[in-house]
Amino acid sequence: MVDAHHHFWDLALKAHPWLVDAPMIPFRYGDYAAIRRTYLPDDYRRDARALNVVKTVYVEAEWDPGDPIGETRWVHETAARHGLPSAMVAQAWLDRADVSEVLAKQAAFPLVRSVRHKPTAAARRQDARRGAPGSMDCRCWRRGFALLERHKLHFDLQTPWWHFDAAAELARDFPATTIIVNHTGLPADRSVEGLAGWRRAVELLAEAPNVMLKISGLGVPGQRWTYELQGPVVRDAIRIFGVERCMFASNFPVDSLVGTFDEIYASFLEITSDLPDDARRKLFHDNAARIYRL
């Protein structure tokens, strides 16, 4: 297996404000005190020990935004010592004045394949509006996004599904840049209406061939991760995007708040048990290896 999305952090560095500062920030899973602890490759390997994870993709973890290159340097030092991760998604603030310089520096690191900057988003679908500063509609943000093609960098997009109309336009306007949607579009609202809205948004975004879907981060606040809870969402995601454009990921240690590593991957295995072996290999390994050039 390739784990296409996980994090490490060392709280002794005091480089992650959300993990060391008080008060704690509003978080989509609620109380996250349990993950406010150092989490390094040895911890990850213990969590994943029952599974044959051969390569991993580290994703930026809200490191001090004033020092995005510092995180990349630390990740490379960590990989040199521990053999993980195999690739990384680096931090870059696309609407900052220094974006050109930061992207050039990030692209020069051998493990960097993509960058992430969470665009401005509404916390609730009823509050979603187009054109907000720092959003995917923002001219300044888009100027930064346009630089990704020059550096052959992908873009990892984390935004709620109610902003997928803007994401679809972004994908159409920049067809040479691969966009990798994080956490399945964050379908935390499992009401009939909520899931219907999520499916419509995912179907719209799937029309763009340069968009990939990372199936991870599916936790629902207050509910344990189970096959019954996640099965319909995962099957819909694969049906809409197709086996060739989806990949599984743990989102550890964040998703340890809702399930163990074994519980999450056992559900992925059970959900896909009726698929052919070659399709499962793509979802668990081949697609992530291809897209992140592992």
Q: What is the pTM of this model?
A: 0.97
Task: Please state, in angstroms and rounded to a whole number, the distance separating the CA atoms of residues 287 and 113.
Answer: 14
CA distance linking residue 217 with residue 66, whole number of Å: 26
Q: Tell me the CATH number of domain 2-291, given options 3.40.50.2300, 3.40.640.10, 3.30.479.30, 3.20.20.140.
A: 3.20.20.140
Q: What is the pLDDT of residues 5-37, one digit of tens each?
A: 999 999 999 999 999 999 999 999 999 999 999
Counting beta carbons within 10 angstroms of the beta carbon of residue 122, is it exposed (0 to 12), middle (13 to 18) or buried (19 or more)? middle
Encode pLDDT of 196-248 as tens digits: 999 999 999 999 999 999 999 999 999 999 999 999 999 999 999 999 999 99
Q: Where are the domains of the chain?
A: 2-291
Backbone φ, ψ for residue 11 (5° rounding): -70, -15
> With contact defined as beta carbons under 8 Å apart, do 73 and 67 qualify?
no
pLDDT in tens, 63-97: 999 999 999 999 999 999 999 999 999 999 999 99
Please name the residue that has the structure tokens 């959003």: 135
Cβ contacts of 285 within 8 Å, gap of 6 or more: 1, 2, 54
The pLDDT of residue 210 is 98
Cβ-based neighbours of 194, under 8 Å, separated by 6 or more? 187
Which amino acid appears at position 210 of this protein?
A: N
108, 69 Cβ separation under 8 angstroms: no
Give residue 2's pLDDT band: very low, low, confident or very high (50, 70, 90).
Answer: very high
pLDDT of residue 112: 98
Which pair of tokens denotes residue 256?
């340890």
The DSSP secondary-structure symbol of 242 reads -
Please name which of 272, 173, 265 lies closest in space to residue 216, comparing C-alpha atoms: 265
Residues 204 and 234 sit within 8 Å (Cβ to Cβ): no
pLDDT recorded at residue 185:
97
Classify residue 217 as left (phi > 0), alpha (psi -120 to 50) or beta: left
Q: Do 291 and 247 touch, CB atoms closer than 8 A? A: yes
What whole-number distance in Å separates Cα of residue 294 and Cα of residue 288?
A: 8
What size, in residues, is the chain? 294
Q: Write out the two tokens for 165.
A: 């109309």
Average pLDDT taken over every residue of the chain? 97
